[in-house]
Amino acid sequence: MTAKIINGKDIAAKKRIAIAVEVKKLKSKGVTPGLAVILVGNNHASLTYVKSKEKACRELGMNSLLIEMPEEVSEEELLSKIEELNGDTKIHGILVQLPIPKHIDEKKVIESISPLKDVDGFHPINIGRMMTGQNTFLPCTPYGIMVLLEESGISIAGKNVVVVGRSNIVGKPVGQLFLNQHATVTYCHSKTRDLKLHTNQADILVAAVGIPNFITAEHIKEGAVVIDVGINRNEAGKLCGDVAFDEVSEKAGYITPVPKGVGPMTITMLMYNTLKSANESIDR
């Protein structure tokens, strides 16, 4: 079997067109969605991500505000900036780019963002809402994965889903979203014994471990859907995922490539969440 490619770039482009239409409608009512992004320090990868978020805002007609703070900024200063943005009616989404320097308490920072503007979906209140299936901001990468499957016509109820990786940003929440859609979910991680035993049962496998080519053909059931969340560089410096694409795509039914798979969906869902926040602000 040769897997069908799930083209995240095309699906993201389609979703962005729909978002731009909604932004226009909202602007005609006098509200322009606004996203504030806080970048602390000079992490090169973070700067690239933040610039992409600004560009996406511009392309969709939203306002973006980039706040750059030096590596040595105090926790107090950062919290005070977030407090100011919480009260700014022109700002509908607040995102603090992670990671932040070690002298600042990440939990405190996440919890200081108003849950009404937490477009990352990282605030414990919003995580609780997601777990109990309430209206909330869903974390962007997990949400993007669910949209990729929906747009590809892949059903979820009753399927065996195996998530490899248990980060707060991707692994844990994506498993929860699958559970909310009636899948049977297994989490695997670095302490899992006999990984293959689990992954070979997967109708849908999500790889989110951050290790190049970690998932190989022997981990995959024939015809499975394989979602690769990894963004790594191999020894040659080339961008690659957590899945050994060439061999796995010979066995899987569907597969997301890297790049042009999950990646483009993350920022798209961030734009969607910012639009949602702006829309909901009208009714308050």
Q: Which residues are catalytic?
A: 53, 97, 120
Per the structure block, which two tokens stand in for 256? 């997301």
**For ligand GUN, which stretch binds (CB under 6 A), given 89-97, 174-182, 211-219, 252-260?**
89-97
**How would you write 141-175 as a 3-class SS string?**
HHHHHHHHHHHCCCCCCCCEEEEECCCCCCHHHHH
**138 touches ligand GUN by CB under 6 A:** no
Q: What number of chain residues touch ligand GUN (CB under 6 A)?
A: 7
- Overall size of the chain counted in residues: 284
Q: Which of 95, 149, 207, 208 is the binder for ligand GUN (CB under 6 A)?
A: 95
Minimum distance between the CB of residue 100 and ligand GUN, rounded to whole angstroms? 9
Q: Which of 20, 31, 65, 98 is the binder for ligand GUN (CB under 6 A)?
A: 98
Considering the complex, state which of residue 95 and residue 255 has its C-beta at the smaller distance from ligand GUN: 95
Contacts 24+ apart (CB under 8 A), 151-155: 151/11, 151/14, 152/4, 152/6, 152/11, 152/254, 154/204, 154/225, 154/254
Collect all residues with Cβ–Cβ distance below 8 Å to 57 and sequence separation of at least 6: 35, 63, 64, 271, 274
Minimum distance between the CB of residue 190 and ligand GUN, rounded to whole angstroms? 20
Q: Which of 109, 119, 162, 169 is the binder for ligand GUN (CB under 6 A)?
A: 169
**For ligand GUN, which stretch binds (CB under 6 A), given 22-30, 93-101, 195-203, 204-212?**
93-101
Considering the complex, state which of residue 97 and residue 199 has its C-beta at the smaller distance from ligand GUN: 97
**For ligand GUN, which stretch binds (CB under 6 A), given 22-30, 79-87, 96-104, 111-119?**
96-104
> What sign does the CA torsion over 216, 219, 223, 228 have?
negative
Report residue 65: phi and psi, to 5°. -130, 115
Minimum distance between the CB of residue 139 and ligand GUN, rounded to whole angstroms? 7
**97 touches ligand GUN by CB under 6 A:** yes
Looking at residues 114 to 133 of the shown chain, list those that interact with ligand GUN (rule: CB under 6 A). Answer: 120
Collect all residues with Cβ–Cβ distance below 8 Å to 129 and sequence separation of at least 6: 135, 136
Q: Is 59 helix (H, G, I), strand (E, B) or coil?
A: helix
Q: Which residues of 143-160 are buried (b: 16+ CB within 10 A; e: fewer)?
A: bbbbbbbebeebebeebb
Per the structure block, which two tokens stand in for 51? 């610039």
Considering the complex, state which of residue 96 and residue 208 has its C-beta at the smaller distance from ligand GUN: 96
Minimum distance between the CB of residue 32 and ligand GUN, rounded to whole angstroms? 22
Considering the complex, state which of residue 169 and residue 262 has its C-beta at the smaller distance from ligand GUN: 169
Q: Which of 6, 140, 208, 258 is the binder for ligand GUN (CB under 6 A)?
A: 140
Q: Which residues of 240-278 are buried (b: 16+ CB within 10 A; e: fewer)?
A: bbbbbbeebbebbbbbbbbebbbbbbbbbbbbbbbbbbb
Considering the complex, state which of residue 65 and residue 195 has its C-beta at the smaller distance from ligand GUN: 65
**225 touches ligand GUN by CB under 6 A:** no
Contacts with ligand GUN by CB under 6 A lie at 95-98, 120, 140, 169
